[in-house]
Structure 1
Amino acid sequence: MSSLSNKIDFAVIFSVKNANPNGDPLNGNRPRTDYDGYGEVSDVCLKRKIRDRLQDMGKSIFVQSDEKKTDGMTSLKNRAESEEFGLGKNAFNIKKSTPEQTAKLACEKWLDVRSFGQLFAFKSESKDGVSIPIRGPVTIQAAFSLEPVSITSTQITKSVSGEGDGSKRSSDTMGMKHRVDSATYVAFGAMSPQLAERTGFDNEDAQTIKQILPKLFEGDASSARPEGSMAVEKVIWWQHNSKSGQYSSAKVHNSLRKHIEQNINNGMEVLFDAALLRDSIKTALPDLDVEIIDGF
């Protein structure tokens, strides 16, 4: 099967209402913000959600979260070397295989590996071993809010099970819970046909990711992100007419940024009206195919 035939750029616009979209463990799990107060959701967080949605579709995923683990493997190493769920130990032994062969097998088996890439450790006769870097064709930037965010922090009490026979209630402990009151975020991404040739990422894989982006937060509810508190509003999908693309990704993404800057004071309904959004982008990039997809 041939690899990705056309360069693709995309953007995901999502809203947050009374939720913590991405807590910072180094800052008391407060929602991430930059130095100017704009909300941030890391690229790692977004890739985690993409992997989870792909796994919900039944796709084979290498980097599985503990909550969604389907094979019982206790580590990535165990999954990679598993005979049943992975490539087997021989694939990582210099006497049995080569790094190139192992990388090819990993890309064929796991969709997230051939999409985002991965780094594998390869056993060799030297003490240091050999690393197998797989550079993926799909890149995603961190998402940032359109305006500085307002964060509300609430003190809560947490009850835990007491020791002994359970007849005595343990003392409550104090904690904090944080949320973004209301904000809209935008994340940009791209798919490179040149890198796709190395991993085998093809048009069908690109369409699979396109299919799950509008429902990125379905099945992702938690105490910090209650059901319905986060929603994809729009997915913007640009498909170029060649592998190299008509424009750089920076120019493509800036067409949306410019539309936002010009219309942000008109309200969100106007800002992300599909017809106005399409007209604005097509004015900036008239010969580039663009699709506006509503969130799920």
Structure 2
Amino acid sequence: MSLEKRYDFVLFFDVKDGNPNGDPDAGNLPRIDAESGHGIVTDVCLKRKIRNYVGLVKNEQPPYEIYVKEKAILNKQHERAYIALGIDLSSDEGKRKGGDKVDIARDWMCKNFFDVRTFGAVMSTGINCGQVRGPVQLTFARSIEPVVASEHSITRMAVATEEEAKKQGGDNRTMGRKYTIPYGLYRVHGFISAPLADQTGFSEEDLNLLWDALEHMFEHDRSAARGLMSSQRLIIFEHNSKLGNRPAHELFARIEVVRASDSTAPARDFSDYKTMLDGNEIKAFKTVVPV
């Protein structure tokens, strides 16, 4: 069943003593806005966690396969579409990288892969399956307050090679570093377009699975480096039409986060904050607000 309404949403999640999204161009330091000091988590990072959760829950079976995943060879997935459509890739049509079957191949990819019909994909490399503009889009997440990255030296009581052991005289230690932030509460904005959902086949069932993923995606993404990450609040603005009734930025402005007390000490827990909608505190994880 296709979507009959537009949705905009805000997700709050936090991290304790962890690195929510390291920057490989900066030695894996937590991503931070250099001007304001606020922490940043990219949309790509969050989409990865949603994909992993859906793949785990649905056991990577159609129509919930995952297109962009670890060690995936994307052009091989494109080939699957044409094979399923009965097109011989060695034929003249196949050699033209899809010929006039691109639209059909794109529909096949949307039907079988959850992340293609959700987030969209560029599938024109190799065998051409076209491009899909996804109905679900996310912004970068930004922390409510500035965060401070801490650097920790760590020691492994082992080395990788005999040469390293000889150089250390048998001490066999490997030094390393780990970066964390003590605490950060992050806010990310999301948008769901009903007209684009019609084009990709993103359904009500997919929407409910997305809400489920946003709530539980961190539960199956644990690692020592990421500390304790948790989804804390999900506020969904439900319009009563496909095109929507109000601009998203006006809806998002109705939500604010304030300190729970007058203390000026650095926040170290979600309980240090209150999430407010139109001046009223939100205490449930998921709140649906008619627009």
Secondary structure at the aligned position of 1:182 is classed as: strand
C-alpha distance in structure 2 between counterparts of 1:169 and 1:200, whole Å: 61
What are the superposed Cα offsets for residues 235-270 of structure 1, whole Å, 9 maximum, x if unpaired?
1111111111111111112221xx22xx34647547
Instruction: Tell me the C-alpha RMSD between the 2 structures.
Output: 3.3
Please tell me whether the aligned partners of residues 38 and 145 of structure 2 are also in contact (alpha carbons under 8 angstroms).
Answer: yes
Aligned to 1:221: 222
Secondary structure at the aligned position of 1:160 is classed as: coil
Please tell me whether the aligned partners of residues 11 and 186 of structure 1 are also in contact (alpha carbons under 8 angstroms).
Answer: yes
Secondary structure at the aligned position of 1:218 is classed as: helix
Aligned to 2:274: 272
The one-letter code sitting in structure 2 at the alignment partner of 1:254 is A
C-alpha distance in structure 1 between counterparts of 2:183 and 2:120, whole Å: 34
Tell me how many residue pairs correspond in the alignment: 265
Q: 1:169 to 1:86 in 2, by over 3 A?
A: farther
Aligned to 2:193: 192
Please tell me whether the aligned partners of residues 236 and 286 of structure 2 are also in contact (alpha carbons under 8 angstroms).
Answer: no
Aligned to 1:285: none
TM-score (norm 1): 0.78
Aligned to 2:120: 117
Q: Percent identity?
A: 32
Per-residue deviation at 1:80? 3.3
Q: 1:131 to 1:57 in 2, by over 3 A?
A: closer
TM-score (norm 2): 0.79
Query: What are structure 1's unaligned runs of at least 5 residues?
Result: 67-73, 125-129, 283-289
Secondary structure at the aligned position of 1:107 is classed as: helix
Secondary structure at the aligned position of 1:157 is classed as: strand
Match of 1:293 among 277, 280, 285: 285
Query: What are structure 2's unaligned runs of at least 5 residues?
Result: 59-63, 263-269
Aligned to 2:267: none
Q: 1:27 to 1:131 in 2, by over 3 A?
A: same
Per-residue deviation at 1:278? 4.5
Please tell me whether the aligned partners of residues 235 and 294 of structure 1 are also in contact (alpha carbons under 8 angstroms).
Answer: yes
Q: 1:98 to 1:89 in 2, by over 3 A?
A: closer
Please tell me whether the aligned partners of residues 138 and 190 of structure 1 are also in contact (alpha carbons under 8 angstroms).
Answer: yes
C-alpha distance in structure 2 between counterparts of 1:182 and 1:210, whole Å: 25
Secondary structure at the aligned position of 1:217 is classed as: helix
Q: Which is worse superposed, 113-122 or 155-164?
A: 155-164
C-alpha distance in structure 2 between counterparts of 1:291 and 1:119, whole Å: 40
Matches within 5 A, 1:6-17: 6-17=5-16
Per-residue deviation at 1:291? 11
Aligned to 1:243: 242
Aligned to 1:287: none
What are the superposed Cα offsets for residues 176-221 of structure 1, whole Å, 9 maximum, x if unpaired?
1100101111111010011112111112211110122111201101
Q: 1:43 to 1:206 in 2, by over 3 A?
A: same
Q: 1:100 to 1:15 in 2, by over 3 A?
A: same
User: 4+ runs of 1 displaced by more than 6 Å?
Assistant: 83-89
Aligned to 1:234: 233
Aligned to 1:60: 65
Please tell me whether the aligned partners of residues 254 and 278 of structure 2 are also in contact (alpha carbons under 8 angstroms).
Answer: no
Please tell me whether the aligned partners of residues 75 and 126 of structure 2 are also in contact (alpha carbons under 8 angstroms).
Answer: no
